[in-house]
Structure 1
């Protein structure tokens, strides 16, 4: 039996750029989301910064111990979401070293970096740039991701209602209040991902008929399309918004002030501004939240209302109900209410 030909070694930095270019091409045909490509770009460039003598490495010379050394250095950098202390000078918050365990990267962040590396080195093997992936001998694999930070967890019903009510603002305070109201509804009520919202075009939206509800076609994370029903109040917002833009408006469902397609970061900023408006109007019910936290909100509130978990899984584009169950955050007082309503509770006479 003939042995396979030796790999065609190329410089590691060149392999990273060729892999990222492949990812960008796949994003153009929606095989990957733009946000995923952005994560890969950040992670792989950071890996090259942390890998000792990265400029001397080829795709074949990197070993599992090299990967572990870079991952360990990454895990010991500070979580860039933490704001610097007063007077602290930081040129690049992503490169600041942690001073305490609490300040260090969350295990989930290191796990994401490891997954990005696994996909990259698997691609190197596929392209015959390496014999085997060094990830096969890497030992540093975080298992415990810990609790989600508060902004990624579900809002309770009152907080969600306050955000939908006050978050968009009005025509006087926010010229894009109708667009923002649609985005908040798609995330907080229907549980759409930020990437799914920015990828939606106007012709993906279908108005209701006497026999079918309004709906939007969504291209999901698993590179599949699904039909998501749209409630009447959200349909009215979309129809009015697109009517205001006019028939010659660009294809994306939601537009930036300059008429371009929104990016995921635009959705994040939109939500940050919505939280600020809610805090100003109703501080007792305002709470910081990120887009994924609104996805948790949609799932948690639907399941708390007694929706079948299979229906919720279908709405959120989950292949398994086990994934959906991970989105169920405990609502304040929910456990107490459930216990008090237990069917074996003695009847008071």
Structure 2
């Protein structure tokens, strides 16, 4: 088997990613940067051909990424994992193309990343945010309040909320049909606060926004009568958070996190929350239980007479 130079093989791999895989320019640039780092590391170790790379070289490269040296700053676990993923992809390509007989990177695993807990808002902050969105002023404030009440009252993803059509609402039965990831549909209950906000918007504001030129069955409309975009919905939330004096980053998913966390805090079963959120696996939902356990520890530490000396 020919001793293919590493630099040339990497160029072949990058061409494969660009032409056959059709990766976006930014993604391709990231791969190129990470593989240059890998190539430079191997060059320092006097490894010139792809067939000369060993599993130990790959493992040592990962350790180098995490530990750094006098010339290179140590990378965080996510950054090191991303760089190793690029190297592992290169070695899979080399095996598939017959450049090597074995994949020496197959057994080298990316570093585990710390589990990030969802950042839920306290109930009081959510209430302040909703009040801020509906502050008297314009007709669009009524729409904005209905939108945010909908997000928090149903746990809908932002794409599900702006994708709602009138026929998806059944406010007489206090429920709504949401279309989630992978085309999965679910019917979820709508609380009285969200239902009242929706009725007010649908009866007094939406008719004034409807345009014959951009006729649509969308629930949430922009000022021109078209369907409200995800970006515009995000802007609504950002403005409301600012008006409520919330000094941390708030995204549409923050309301979804808050919905799940507050349900679990109130005693809801994790399986029920899984169905309400539209998670395919309960494992995804269980991350929210970690948030509530932290809160339970806090309450226990301050309330139980034997919690601490």
Q: Same fold (TM over 0.5)?
A: yes
1:250 aligns with 2:210: no
Normalised by the length of structure 2, the TM-score is 0.63
Counterpart in 1 of 2:236? 270
Q: Equivalent of 1:139, from 108, 118, 123? A: 108
Whole-angstrom distance in 2 between the partners of 1:17 and 1:296: 37
CA shift, 1:298, in A, is: 0.7
CA contact (8 A) 1:154 1:293 kept: yes
Whole-angstrom distance in 1 between the partners of 2:217 and 2:63: 42
Counterpart in 1 of 2:154? 190
Whole-angstrom distance in 1 between the partners of 2:18 and 2:26: 12
Counterpart in 2 of 1:298? 259
RMSD between superposed Cα atoms in Å: 5.0
CA contact (8 A) 2:170 2:176 kept: yes
1:202 aligns with 2:165: yes
The 5 A counterparts of 1:222-241 are 222-231=182-191, 232-237=195-200, 239-240=202-203, 241=205
CA contact (8 A) 2:175 2:187 kept: no
Whole-angstrom distance in 2 between the partners of 1:216 and 1:176: 24
Unaligned runs of 5+ residues in structure 1 are 1-8, 23-39, 55-60, 77-97
Instruction: Provide closer, same or farther for how the CA distance between residues 156 and 163 of structure 1 changes in structure 2, counting only shifts above 3 A.
Output: same
CA contact (8 A) 1:191 1:298 kept: yes
Whole-angstrom distance in 2 between the partners of 1:193 and 1:114: 31
CA shift, 1:324, in A, is: 1.4
SS of alignment partner, residue 36 of structure 2: coil
Whole-angstrom distance in 2 between the partners of 1:213 and 1:341: 38
CA shift, 1:278, in A, is: 0.9
- 1:186-227 residue CA offsets vs partner (Å, 9 max, x unmatched): 3333222233334x1425522334xx333133222x442222
CA contact (8 A) 1:75 1:110 kept: no
Counterpart in 1 of 2:279? 318
1:51 aligns with 2:19: no
Count of residues in Structure 1 that have an aligned counterpart in Structure 2? 271
Query: Which structure carries more helix by proportion?
Result: 2
CA shift, 1:304, in A, is: 0.9
Normalised by the length of structure 1, the TM-score is 0.57
Instruction: Provide closer, same or farther for how the CA distance between residues 336 and 201 of structure 1 changes in structure 2, counting only shifts above 3 A.
Output: closer
CA contact (8 A) 1:215 1:228 kept: yes
CA contact (8 A) 2:120 2:254 kept: yes
CA shift, 1:170, in A, is: 3.9
- 1:296-345 residue CA offsets vs partner (Å, 9 max, x unmatched): 21111011111222111101112333321212324886545568899xx9
Whole-angstrom distance in 2 between the partners of 1:254 and 1:135: 53
CA contact (8 A) 1:216 1:230 kept: no
Instruction: Provide closer, same or farther for how the CA distance between residues 139 and 307 of structure 1 changes in structure 2, counting only shifts above 3 A.
Output: same
Whole-angstrom distance in 1 between the partners of 2:233 and 2:85: 24
Whole-angstrom distance in 1 between the partners of 2:297 and 2:256: 21
1:164 aligns with 2:130: yes
Whole-angstrom distance in 1 between the partners of 2:29 and 2:11: 17
CA contact (8 A) 1:51 1:66 kept: no
1:16 aligns with 2:50: no
Unaligned runs of 5+ residues in structure 2 are 1-9, 39-49
